[in-house]
């Protein structure tokens, strides 16, 4: 893996150098270097290990070298970033593939321009005492969810595959309180926790959790985290987005080679993060930020998107089945 990673890093540096030379070597009218372009990134949530590549790139100056003055903003409301990018208030947002499809259903002008985590993190998580070894064991159990409609659809599809109905379980919506619900015994399991966050937290507490991502429970695989841009911006002014993704690749590859530096970058950017837990989460997360096999950094698989779009339509979450190029593009990747 180190050989592939080194080859990928070397190629990324060569490509990035060309991008930087093309986009950022201009002089101002006064003869000095041009000022970096202000560029706003809306995070999907509070600072966490999923953002290790972003904050490592900021710390290393990768965005600055690309001619971008990047401001990474934590949203007050996790549902806000995709609306902000649709309205042009931010240049890019980190969001989720299901949210992109729901936004398209609402005719919001958004396009996914790159994957950050190209597999589901959303998982069914339980403790040994709940005795949930397979989906059929959910019968009669209490399941904590975050109240997100598409995750509720995940749960119902998982139950249906086992011949169970929603009435065969007790579902409690706990918002952001998934972990306390399971630790307190209020719920037997959670559906919506991330394998690299809640799963790692429970493991570090010595709870020996059972963590099963939803694509191992019959849900079509999808890109958990994606970069989302305004569709008009993609058409009219794509170069800053292209430069951002190339710089993010450099920061991410460096983070993957240096988990300690990546952890420090996340801790410095966040507020109130616990160092030991953050370090464990970062170690679990970094491999998930790298491309699959021979894919380019940020590549989104059109076939996987088509299958997931079909699932969303079959579950009644969307009424239209857009083509991949209506909701996403790989054209701006390094």
Would you write out the chain's pLDDT as a tens digit for each of its 334 residues? Answer: 434 444 444 444 444 444 443 444 443 444 456 788 999 999 999 999 999 999 999 999 999 999 999 999 999 888 899 999 999 999 999 999 999 999 999 999 999 999 999 999 999 999 999 999 999 999 999 999 999 999 999 999 999 999 999 999 999 999 999 999 999 999 999 999 999 999 999 999 999 999 999 999 999 999 999 999 999 999 999 999 999 999 999 999 999 999 999 999 999 999 999 999 999 999 999 999 999 877 899 999 999 999 999 999 999 999 999 999 999 999 999 8
Q: Which residues contact 85 (CB under 8 A, 6 or more apart)?
A: 42, 91, 92, 93, 110, 228, 229, 230
The burial class, CB within 10 Å (0-12 / 13-18 / 19+), for 137 is middle
Q: Are 303 and 325 in contact (CB under 8 A)?
A: no
Q: 151 and 230: one domain?
A: no
Residue 334 located in a structural domain: no
Give the whole-angstrom CA distance, residue 76 versus residue 78.
7
Q: Are 58 and 70 in contact (CB under 8 A)?
A: yes
Q: Give the residue from 187, 216, 245 where a domain finishes.
A: 216
Q: Can you read off the two tokens belonging to residue 186?
A: 């209020």
Q: How many other β-carbons are positioned within 10 Å of the β-carbon of residue 237?
A: 12
pTM for the complete prediction? 0.88
Q: 232 and 201: one domain?
A: no
Give the total number of structural domains in the chain: 2
Instruction: Please give the distance of CA 201 from its chain centroid, rounded to a whole number.
Output: 18
Residue 134 DSSP label? S
Q: 154 and 84: one domain?
A: no
Which residue range is the domain that position 171 belongs to?
Answer: 122-216
Q: Give the residue from 170, 188, 216 where a domain finishes.
A: 216
Residue 242 located in a structural domain: yes
Q: Which residues contact 139 (CB under 8 A, 6 or more apart)?
A: 162, 164, 168, 169
Q: 269 and 288: one domain?
A: yes
Residue 144 located in a structural domain: yes
Helix (H, G, I), strand (E, B) or coil at 27: strand
Q: Can you read off the two tokens belonging to residue 292?
A: 């699959």
Q: 86 and 227: one domain?
A: yes
DSSP for 137-156 reads GGTT-EEEE---HHHHHHHH
At 23, which helix (H) or strand (E)?
A: helix 2-24
Helix (H, G, I), strand (E, B) or coil at 19: helix
Q: 79 and 131: one domain?
A: no
Q: Give the residue from 185, 216, 247 where a domain finishes.
A: 216
Helix (H, G, I), strand (E, B) or coil at 107: coil
Q: 129 and 111: one domain?
A: no
Beta strands in the chain (DSSP E): 37-42, 68-73, 92-95, 110-117, 122-126, 142-145, 170-173, 189-194, 210-213, 225-230
Residue 333 located in a structural domain: no
Tokens 């593939």 appear where? 97
End-to-end Cα separation, the chain, in angstroms: 20
Query: Considering just the CA atoms, what is the radius of gyration of the chain in Å?
Result: 20
Residue 280 located in a structural domain: yes
Residue 87 located in a structural domain: yes
Report the CATH number at residue 141. Answer: 3.40.190.10
Q: 114 and 230: one domain?
A: yes
């Amino acid at each position: 893996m180190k050989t592939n990673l080194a080859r990928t890093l070397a190629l990324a540096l060569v490509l990035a150098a060309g991008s930087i030379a093309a986009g950022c070597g201009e002089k101002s009218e006064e003869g000095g270097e041009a000022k970096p372009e202000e560029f706003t990134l809306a995070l999907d949530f509070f600072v966490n290990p999923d953002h290790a590549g972003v904050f490592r790139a900021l710390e290393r100056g990768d965005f600055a070298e690309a001619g971008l003055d990047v401001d990474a903003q934590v949203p007050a409301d996790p549902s806000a970033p995709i609306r902000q990018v649709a309205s042009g208030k931010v240049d890019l947002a980190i969001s989720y593939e299901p949210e992109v499809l729901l936004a398209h259903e609402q005719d919001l002008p958004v396009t996914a321009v790159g994957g950050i985590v190209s597999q589901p993190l959303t998982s069914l998580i339980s403790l040994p005492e709940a005795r949930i070894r397979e989906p059929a064991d959910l019968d009669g159990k209490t399941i904590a969810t975050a109240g997100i409609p598409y995750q509720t659809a995940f749960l119902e599809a998982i139950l249906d595959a086992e011949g169970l109905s929603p009435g065969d379980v007790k579902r409690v919506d706990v918002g952001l309180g998934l972990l306390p619900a399971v630790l307190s015994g209020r719920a037997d399991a959670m559906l919506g926790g991330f394998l690299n966050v809640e799963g790692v937290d429970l493991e570090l507490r010595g709870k020996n959790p059972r963590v099963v991502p939803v694509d191992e429970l019959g849900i079509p695989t999808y890109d958990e985290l994606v970069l989302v841009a305004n569709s008009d911006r993609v058409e009219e002014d794509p170069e800053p987005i292209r430069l951002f993704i190339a710089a993010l690749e450099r920061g991410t590859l460096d983070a993957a080679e240096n988990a300690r530096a990546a952890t420090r970058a996340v801790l410095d950017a966040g507020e109130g993060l616990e160092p030991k837990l953050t370090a464990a989460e970062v170690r679990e997360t970094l491999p998930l930020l790298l491309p699959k096999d021979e894919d380019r950094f940020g590549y989104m698989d059109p076939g996987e998107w088509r299958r997931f779009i079909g699932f969303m339509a079959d579950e009644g979450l969307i009424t239209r089945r857009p083509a991949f190029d209506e909701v996403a593009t790989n054209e701006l990747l390094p």
